Structure 1
Amino acid sequence: MNDPLTRTLELDPLGPLLDREEPATTTHDLHLEAEPTTLTIPVVGGGEAIVVDEPEAGYRSTAALTLSPRRAGLALSALALGAFATGANEASIVALSANIARGLGAPVSQVGLLATAFALTVVLAAIPLTVVTRRLSKRVALSATFGVWTVGLVLAASAAALPQLAAGRIVSAAAHALFWAIVAPTAASLFAPHLRARSVTRIMVGAAAAGVVGTPLITVAGGSLGWQAPYWAFAALGVLLAVALALLLPGSAPARRGASDPTDSPVEHHATGDLPSMRAFVRVLVVTFAASVAMTTTWTYIVPFYTDVAEVGTRTVPILFALGGTVAVGTTLAVTPYLATHAVPTVAFGLVVLSVAWTLLATGLGWAAVAGQVAQAAGWAVLLAALLNWAMRHSPWRSEVGASTYTVAMNSGAAVGPLVGGLLVEQHGLRDLPVVSLALTLLAAGVTAGVDRTMLRRLRVPRHVRLALEARDAMRARRQEWQRRTGAAVGEAIGTAGQGAARAADRGARRAGSALRSHVRDWAELS
């Protein structure tokens, strides 16, 4: 057909453009996960956090694919029970501090130092143990973990003096660190990719039960049966978990690099912070450390504070713990929708609520202790969730490195707090603990208030919106480059069809909705 009104579009000029090597850009790889899954559940005096940063929804080995749904479900239930057991054991020193002090004839300030030993062990052991066990299958690693955990609990339960109890706490802390380092990818690997969020959430439900149910039961059992009884119960549970995980989890080790079966090779990509900034990330770490020190300074010795200063009955303490655990979980669920756009204001709000809690506790009144327990639980839950989200937005490294650094800061504060609290108890008694916690919380609030307005506006743009806008800008830049290289002749050949497509795309963008348009305006003002 030789129509004089028809022009043939020669595609030769496009060849060099398509074949040339693209220059390196700073835009995010769209294959990476846009929003790393971050979950945190507060327990008494602390919190359990999980960051699942794999870009794929979960690595599934060939052995995991052979699991029946029933066996995979039972394995997930065992992991959730392990989360409950480890979380309750971590908080047990808070619930049993007064009973341990009486049983071993030791000052309560020295018993509080066991919390420091536990936190320091978690800080020092998590990464080395993870590296050492990475060539093992999850079945071997987790079964051995609970075997070691059980040994630590037996040492603690049979202790007749404080040094043996400390040794048992250190051993169980090492197992605790390894469990929380590998439990999330283990749970994710048991099910199809789209079920990852549900499987990891099940683990966090177990951790939440540690604060809602576990700590009150420990307090009751310690008061009626002796402080050793909870640790013997944990030891029996550790044996059950070690056997159950050995039977339920798949046994093959993860494939190494260069394995012949590509389906067994885990994806190595990781997401990074969408607003990477070393300065901003250090600010988050300072706030995390100060808030953790403030929390553990008082909370490590909260039971003797309740009974000796606020004159709360020993039978009321488990009820307070159960109330606090319930409030913490409910608050965590309520605050989650606000984290993507209001991370820093949410941190500030959590610090304000914690300040109110320390003020109430400082009065030493019974009713104020109840109100302070509720405020502390709500404030700590808000703070934990928001701090983790804030840290992930600014992480200058891959998200798993940023999460590990954040965890080190949190546990370092948890190690220093009992030292500060123990010194105060020895020198001035229990009454001054909330006052010092209030001062440290206000210090953390002051550091938080130093965030400049420009950064606050940038943080209001959700991560997934920011990445979409960056992808749009990169597409526009590539289109302009294409037009420049191909010249006017190609542009005329494209003609009305290309212009119509552009207009259609613009109309679609205008229909995106008022919420997205506000984010775009914020981004445009900052660019």
Structure 2
Amino acid sequence: MTRTENTRPCRTVRPGYVLAGFVLLVCCTGTAEYLVAGVLPQLAADVSVSIAAAGQTVTAYALGVAIGGPIVTVLTARVPRKGLALALGIVFIAGTVLTVFAPTYALVVVGRVVSACSQATLFAIGLTTATGLLGPARQGQAIAIVSSGLTVATVLGVPLGALLGGTTSWRIPFVFVAAAATLGVLLLAAAMPRTPAPTSGVRDEIRTLLRGPVLLAVSTTVIGFGGVSVVFTYLVPLLSEVTGIAAGVVPALLLTYGVGGFVGNLVAGRLADLSLGKTLVGVFLALIATLAAFPLLAGQPIPMVGLVLILGLLSTATIAPLQSLVLRHAGAAPTLSLAVNVGAFNLANAIGSTLGGLGVAAGLLRWGGLGGAVFATLGLILTFRALRAAPRSEAPTAETSTAAADIKETSQ
């Protein structure tokens, strides 16, 4: 039997509030993931560990997303979406609060892992709910709106958090993250419609994930997005040591990169609704050209400023189309596949930064763009294969169809 929520839904559904709630929670999870990088010295000193050990709290969060996320998704496959979203938001807040008050390094790590385990499933629910709110014809735009929370975290959340943590205590930024996440949960509690529990179960979710086209789409994310990380992880030393840009200018360039990422994500979402295939191919072709240009123009400051902006636009322009590609193949059981694809972006970052680091250690800092271009080329090849496997008709999934129908009913 399938569990359902028997409470009658509210008469009026406000999609804007629902989307705002998910964007806020996604922004908070993204900020929490990378915030530690800006307060490592303060954290290390406070809990009496080395900076290297403090940096492992970033790794702990990433592993919590990549490993814990799919496990949580499987275990909650038949839990009604609204109740699950609220529960996951509370789990994230609880982990963040534990991080704030943790007296020891071990408890800091525990708090980070607890928070991280909610991210992938919460993100996946946000994607399917947003698609139900806006409809299949605006699927790419819906995904881009929810994903914009991550780009906002990159543009504003992490830099402001690092600045605040550097002037007060490393714990203070996490207090603000917890407060903002609480607001996100309250928005969902007030505005998100109650829908029946998904009819798909654990076996359906796993069977969907293991389908060839879905695995191809996830692989495209890992390989294609990894090329961005090869360059971006070591962009600061590249600009400082090779290009010769003054240290005071680099933060402004990174902010430009982040603003470009915010715009690129939203534009790509709209383009994906017009033509998913053309958008993916176009983004990867542009990404290949841009990454390959980095080694050639690394010694020229003015062209490099333009390349940084273009890379910012293209980096997040992959998110909405790649998630749309996964959603297209996932059918009636999309949550696990979307959650795994969220972890795939984390895995791409890990692979790209590791290989890029090996290149830097070998004295190839300037030439990292060529490695990134190779990854993007492989991503383009996988894209062609994944698109070729795409279904002829793009019917909405069962979960998003249920959400859309429920929204329509409660709005009348």
* TM-score normalised according to structure 2 size: 0.68
Instruction: Indicate if the aligned counterparts of 1:94 and 1:301 stay in contact, CA closer than 8 A.
Output: no
Residues 1:146 and 2:84 are matched in the alignment: no
How big is the alpha-carbon RMSD for the aligned residues of Structure 1 and Structure 2?
Answer: 4.9
Structure 2 equivalent of residue 331 of structure 1: 264
Structure 1 equivalent of residue 371 of structure 2: 440
Structure 2 equivalent of residue 10 of structure 1: none
Structure 2 equivalent of residue 289 of structure 1: 222
Amino acid at match of 2:290: V
After TM superposition, the structure 1 = structure 2 runs for residues 77-226 of structure 1, keeping only pairs within 5 Å, are: 77-96=20-39, 110-158=53-101, 162-187=105-130, 202-226=145-169
- 2:17 aligned residue (63, 74, 80): 74
SS in 2 for 1:227: coil
Encode CA deviations 1:191-230: one digit per residue, 9 max, x unaligned: 8898888766643444443333323322432343343321
Residues 1:320 and 2:253 are matched in the alignment: yes
In structure 2, relative to structure 1, the CA distance for the partners of 1:340 and 1:202 (3 Å cut) is same
SS in 2 for 1:254: coil
Residues in 2 aligned to 1:418 and 1:312: alpha-carbon distance in whole angstroms: 24
Residues in 1 aligned to 2:343 and 2:134: alpha-carbon distance in whole angstroms: 30
Residues in 2 aligned to 1:304 and 1:158: alpha-carbon distance in whole angstroms: 35
Indicate the structure (1 or 2) with the bigger Cα radius of gyration.
Answer: 1
After TM superposition, the structure 1 = structure 2 runs for residues 211-360 of structure 1, keeping only pairs within 5 Å, are: 211-250=154-193, 254=197, 278=212, 288-296=221-229, 299-300=232-233, 312-313=246-247, 318-335=251-268, 336=271, 339-341=276-278, 343-357=280-294
Residues in 2 aligned to 1:256 and 1:238: alpha-carbon distance in whole angstroms: 29
In structure 2, relative to structure 1, the CA distance for the partners of 1:370 and 1:192 (3 Å cut) is closer
* TM-score normalised according to structure 1 size: 0.56
Structure 2 equivalent of residue 496 of structure 1: none
Residues in 2 aligned to 1:182 and 1:192: alpha-carbon distance in whole angstroms: 15
Unaligned runs of 5+ in 1: 1-59, 258-267, 469-527
Instruction: Indicate if the aligned counterparts of 2:97 and 2:175 stay in contact, CA closer than 8 A.
Output: yes
Higher mean alpha-carbon deviation, 61-70 vs 127-136, is at 61-70
Residues in 1 aligned to 2:230 and 2:139: alpha-carbon distance in whole angstroms: 36
Instruction: Indicate if the aligned counterparts of 2:27 and 2:149 stay in contact, CA closer than 8 A.
Output: yes
Tell me by how many angstroms 1:172 deviates.
Answer: 1.4
Residues in 2 aligned to 1:222 and 1:165: alpha-carbon distance in whole angstroms: 16
Tell me by how many angstroms 1:322 deviates.
Answer: 2.9
Residues in 2 aligned to 1:182 and 1:162: alpha-carbon distance in whole angstroms: 32
Tell me by how many angstroms 1:129 deviates.
Answer: 1.3
Tell me by how many angstroms 1:180 deviates.
Answer: 0.8
Amino acid at match of 1:239: T
Tell me by how many angstroms 1:126 deviates.
Answer: 2.3
Tell me by how many angstroms 1:106 deviates.
Answer: 6.0
Residues 1:381 and 2:316 are matched in the alignment: yes
Instruction: Indicate if the aligned counterparts of 1:87 and 1:207 stay in contact, CA closer than 8 A.
Output: yes
Tell me by how many angstroms 1:237 deviates.
Answer: 2.2
Structure with more relative contact order (C-alpha pairs < 8 Å, separation 6 or more): 2
Amino acid at match of 2:369: L
Residues in 2 aligned to 1:169 and 1:414: alpha-carbon distance in whole angstroms: 18
Q: How high is the sequence identity, in percent, across the aligned residues?
A: 22
Encode CA deviations 1:472-504: one digit per residue, 9 max, x unaligned: xxxxxxxxxxxxxxxxxxxxxxxxxxxxxxxxx
Amino acid at match of 1:214: G
Amino acid at match of 1:374: L
Structure 2 equivalent of residue 412 of structure 1: 347
> How many residue pairs end up in the alignment?
380
Tell me by how many angstroms 1:171 deviates.
Answer: 1.7
Tell me by how many angstroms 1:97 deviates.
Answer: 5.1
Structure number with higher helix proportion: 2
SS in 1 for 2:277: coil
Unaligned runs of 5+ in 2: 395-412
Amino acid at match of 2:262: V
Instruction: Indicate if the aligned counterparts of 1:63 and 1:250 stay in contact, CA closer than 8 A.
Output: no
Structure 1 equivalent of residue 405 of structure 2: none
Residues in 1 aligned to 2:286 and 2:144: alpha-carbon distance in whole angstroms: 25
Tell me by how many angstroms 1:81 deviates.
Answer: 1.9
Amino acid at match of 1:379: L
Instruction: Indicate if the aligned counterparts of 1:285 and 1:409 stay in contact, CA closer than 8 A.
Output: yes
Tell me by how many angstroms 1:168 deviates.
Answer: 2.7
In structure 2, relative to structure 1, the CA distance for the partners of 1:446 and 1:146 (3 Å cut) is closer
SS in 2 for 1:340: helix
Amino acid at match of 1:348: L
Amino acid at match of 1:128: I
SS in 2 for 1:341: helix
